[in-house]
Structure 1
Amino acid sequence: MTSPSSCPPRPISEECPRMPDAISTRTLVAVHGNFASAAWWRDLVARPPAGWQVLAPDLPGFAGTPHDGDVSISAYADWLGAWIAERNLDRPVLLGHSLGGAVVLDLAARDPGRYRALVLAASAPLTGLVTPEENYPVLEMLRGTPALLEMSLGALFPSGRPEDFGTYVEDGGRMAAAHYSGNARALSTWSVDPARLSGLPVLVMGGELDALITPDMVRAQAQALGVPATVHPGVGHGFPQEQPDVFRAALATFLDSLP
């Protein structure tokens, strides 16, 4: 692992992780959502909960990373599983935001014993997320229209844009062309059986002002998984970045409860 003093600028495939303290023996893998990148987790990587290190990859085709395979949730989960295996991570906790929630759900459902827990932040519903057909032309318009992309991403942060918002817009604009409609199509045909996750500790969170993954969706997901739902007031889809300290505190409480 690269030390903080020698950490180069972020490679296209992975955020440079903070060097863990001597007591840090557990790992949380944070997975971004659609039109996003590892940069969304930069604060959490730099200031992880005590006793943890946080690693945040860029999924294939996001933020300029190479992509030559299927545009599907299962393909992203395949890639993430291989990324984790390459690093010999011992039962990491998987954190997924939005589309990233579907990715970590898909991966964990294959073999829950490989993972310590799941954290779902404004995650795609267990039954998938259908985008109305009339919205697909708008998704394609986001490609090559920075002002429209900035406006769309800005709506995810109703309480205020994060400090790194400019990077979010830049990284979103470097997403692979096939992803603009492809990711929405992928989410519309994806689902996971909650019974396959039985026994795995799960934290389900959402934002009160989220118009994409509404509080009702968050509560329904939590109910299907047999756990409580936490809906943070006054924030939207990007609540982990809108209020990073609040998010980190809720995350730390959950992580401290794990065996």
Structure 2
Amino acid sequence: MTKLNHHRTGSGEPLVLVHGVGSHWQVWEPLFELLTDSFEVIAVDLPGFGGSETLEHTTVSTLADALVGFLAAEGLERPHLAGNSMGGGIVLDLAARGLARSVTAYSPIGCWDTAGRVWCQQALGNAKRLTKALHPAVPAIFGTAAGRSAFLGLVFGRPWDITPQVGIDTAEGVLGAGGFDAALASFTEFRLPDHTAVADIPVTVAWGNRDILLTYATQSRRAREVLPGARHVTLPGSGHTPFYDDPAGCARLLLDQATPSR
């Protein structure tokens, strides 16, 4: 089994956090301080991302299988699961296998039509190629609010507000991800599970209304159709990766999901 690099902190019921394509466990850091009094937080690097080795054959499905193996190896029986983008699709997949106590999916893949899926794949592929071409200049570009706004609006709702280092880390995460290209290509085959497979657990789907990668206006509406039993939430002012845009709002969804009477 491929070992997964991960970060573990806090105490309470286990909460496993799963990043999107081209990302890494650190994308969840803005939420840690808000969650660790209530959860044992386990943020993972999927195979081929961050500090985890790349699989021989990478698809969304094989990444999900690797996460199943990680949960078993770590003795994590039906933890709370949360995921962003590709990670959102993966945690819904695991929930359909009966492996989750609850699921929170931030802008999950799979709620697209063909045009939306192609846009996502092309936008991310082009972003990687541009980042690679501009790599020597990335620190200078992201050192200005204008540069961050121009290049990072695909994933952040308020890119001018993030620090230059977060911008640099985002770029390096994409360029250093050995599983990026294969995982992105496999989006073509990915399908969300039937909603009846996750009907017995709490499911929340959250979407930033500034998400232009998995477009809020169309895909959040489609999410309501394909997951009618879920709680659907809009995060005002947030983009595709909302944890820097609205950490309090993102954390509150997880806390409310695990403790509905809170």
Short-chain TM bin: 0.7 to 0.9
SS in 2 for 1:195: helix
Contact 1:92 1:117 in 2 (8 A): yes
Contact 1:93 1:116 in 2 (8 A): yes
- In structure 1, distance between residues paired with 2:122 and 2:240: 22
- In structure 2, distance between residues paired with 1:100 and 1:41: 12
Matched residue, 2:5: 14
Q: Which runs of at least 4 in structure 1 moved beyond 6 Å after TM superposition?
A: none
Contact 2:131 2:171 in 1 (8 A): no
The runs of 5 or more residues in structure 2 that have no matched partner are 143-147
1:62 shift after superposition = 0.8
SS in 2 for 1:120: strand
Matched residue, 2:196: 195
Matched residue, 2:145: none
The runs of 5 or more residues in structure 1 that have no matched partner are 1-11
- In structure 2, distance between residues paired with 1:40 and 1:134: 22
**TM-score scaled to structure 1, two decimals?**
0.81
- Give, as a single letter, the amino acid of the residue that structure 1 aligns with 2:236: P
Q: Deviations over 1:122-175 (max 9, x none)?
A: 111256862258658625624633349976445321323434333222222211
Contact 1:120 1:204 in 2 (8 A): yes
SS in 2 for 1:82: helix
Matched residue, 2:108: 123
Q: Pick from 69, 81, 94 the counterpart of residue 56 of structure 2.
A: 69
Q: Please, which moves more after superposition, 135-144 or 57-66? A: 135-144
Cα RMSD (Å): 2.8
**Larger helix share, 1 or 2:** 2
**TM-score scaled to structure 2, two decimals?**
0.80
SS in 2 for 1:241: coil
- In structure 1, distance between residues paired with 2:8 and 2:122: 40
Contact 2:4 2:45 in 1 (8 A): yes
- Give, as a single letter, the amino acid of the residue that structure 2 aligns with 1:235: S
The alpha-carbon distance between structure 1 residues 137 and 32, as it changes in their structure 2 partners (threshold 3 A), is: closer
Matched residue, 1:233: 236
1:35 shift after superposition = 1.4
**Map 1:33-182 → 2, pairs under 5 A:** 33-48=20-35, 50-109=37-96, 111-112=97-98, 114-126=99-111, 130-132=117-119, 138=126, 141-142=129-130, 144-145=132-133, 146=135, 147=138, 152-160=151-159, 161-163=161-163, 164-176=166-178, 179-180=180-181, 182=182
Q: Please, which moves more after superposition, 99-108 or 157-166? A: 157-166
